[in-house]
Amino acid sequence: MKAFITIFLLTLSLHAANLSTNKTTYTAGENVVVSLNGVTGPYSNWVGIFKQGSTNSWENVVDAIWFYREDSLTFDNLPGGDYEARLFYRDSLNREASSNNFTVAAGDATISTDRASYNNGETITVTLENVQGASNNFVAIFKEGDTSDWNHYLGNGTAQWFDFRDGTVKIENINLTNGNYQVRLFYNDDITVAKKSVNFQVGEIQRGTITTNKTTYNAGETIQVTVENVQGAHNNWIGIFRKGSPNNWGYVLTENWFQGTAGTFNFPQNFVGGNYEARLFYNDSLTVETIAEFEIEATILPPTIYEDAENRNTAGWTTMEGPYTVSNISRNGTRAIYGKGKWVEGAYYNMAFYRLTLDNGNYWNNTSQHILDMDINGHTACFQVGVEVRTTQGFRGVFFSIWYGKHNYPAAKTVYDDGYTELTFPLPESYRFGNNWKHFNVDIQAKIQEFEPENEVLSIESFVLNGMTGYGAIDNIKLLSE
């Protein structure tokens, strides 16, 4: 018996997982490579980065990567600190192994304002990156030259606390006299040590004016924008944005560059009904000078058909992941699209993904319709369908999953390390059973707002299918106005 136990324990030790990092000390921003050996978890394995001495709980995860059978994982842009990597199986918090301890050096934080000068009362937007403070970090406004202490703190909303590493804060509705100021960054509620600062000026600043010839437009009606008293030296431009969207090139719906101090410009449009803004920018920048708001009334457009399998054309389909391509097949007396699934053995993961764009490979860029309408012939194991969407809060993947429906999972929002956000909703199991066609219709705008009430669709860009097994098929993929 003793010999058996000895052999059993030796066998366990031979198969125990092992983690190690490629270094023990890293500079700020340097990649941390974790090597894996002896991993035996059947599915949903993951490695998390934890502060040394912290417990195995989700709130203590600094960064995490899920994997199947990789030999190494690379973590980037970790904040400064003392860490270890820990291995877990089956989406659990039961630790299987830990790496050696390692240290990442703290990098310098950066701080900037959206302008160098402001009129009194204008909102000051402060952008922060690589913040290193553990907690109770904040920014505060001081007169240039004043010491950092509560006696010189200007009060009245001129400080803002935050809990992110990279992000923005807005200092609004404050009354500052004309002069020179600084926004200063502080860590851990300590106002005596400013980590970083940025200068700005308050004075009588001329922004120029921007107006539209109407406040409400019909769909398709040309928008006429007039600018006057423009102060920018060169490469001034006007952009049309959805109201609430950031000043970012990815959110410009249409634009016009110009020289000079005044002018009137026409913007043809075919936008979905909603609230919009014409924004004036100087010197090829993304710092908005002034804004004119307007509204476009909703209208009903004819359906935009992106897939009708009767034409036997699959030119718009590409394989995002997996070894297969979509097929145009015959199903119950009609043509249909079939995308074969590829299940990873033991991992409960379907790695076959397909995207539908235009035949020339361009994205749909449909700014006028946000209702997905299609037909599904289930008769298949788990799959999911969805769309990729540009919104006022960033890019979103919106998916409808039979797996969620089968297991009664609630809808979920997942934000990945690169900022990509995925919203997944259960698709009723009725779409899975029976060799017959079922109609599927869903308002993408309404689904997004279940998680993000202030978010609005800018455009729907493509359709995505996570492959089917069995004899499933889809057809008649289109977007509707209502």
Q: What is the pLDDT of residues 301-313, one digit of tens each?
A: 899 999 999 999 9
- Banded model confidence at residue 274, pLDDT cuts 50, 70, 90: confident
Q: Where in the chain is the domain with CATH 2.60.40.2840?
A: 12-104, 110-202
Q: Is the pLDDT of residue 271 over 70?
A: yes
Cα three-residue angle 27-98-11, rounded to 5 degrees: 140
Kindly report whether the global pTM for this prediction surpasses the value 0.85. Answer: no
CATH code linked to domain 110-202: 2.60.40.2840
CB 273 within 8 A of CB 481: no
The rounded Cα 383 to chain-centroid distance in angstroms is: 23
What is the number of alpha carbons within 13 Å of residue 347 lying toward its C-beta?
Answer: 15
CATH of 304-480, one of 1.20.1250.20, 3.30.1330.10, 2.60.120.260, 3.30.930.10: 2.60.120.260
Q: Beta 412-415 vs 421-426: how paired, if at all?
A: antiparallel
Residue that is written with structure tokens 């995505």 in the block: 464
CATH of 209-296, one of 3.40.50.1100, 3.40.50.720, 3.10.20.90, 2.60.40.1930: 2.60.40.1930
CB 371 within 8 A of CB 482: yes
Q: Where in the chain is the domain with CATH 2.60.120.260?
A: 304-480
What is the number of alpha carbons within 13 Å of residue 229 lying toward its C-beta?
Answer: 9
Mean of pLDDT values over 434-456: 90
So what's the pLDDT on residue 143? 95
pLDDT in tens, 347-379: 566 778 899 999 999 999 998 899 999 999 876
pLDDT in tens, 97-124: 999 999 998 888 889 888 888 988 888 9
Protein fold of 12-104: Immunoglobulin-like (2.60.40)
Contacts of 387 (CB under 8 A, 6+ apart): 372, 397, 398, 444, 460, 461, 462, 463, 464
Mean of pLDDT values over 390-408: 89
So what's the pLDDT on residue 10? 38
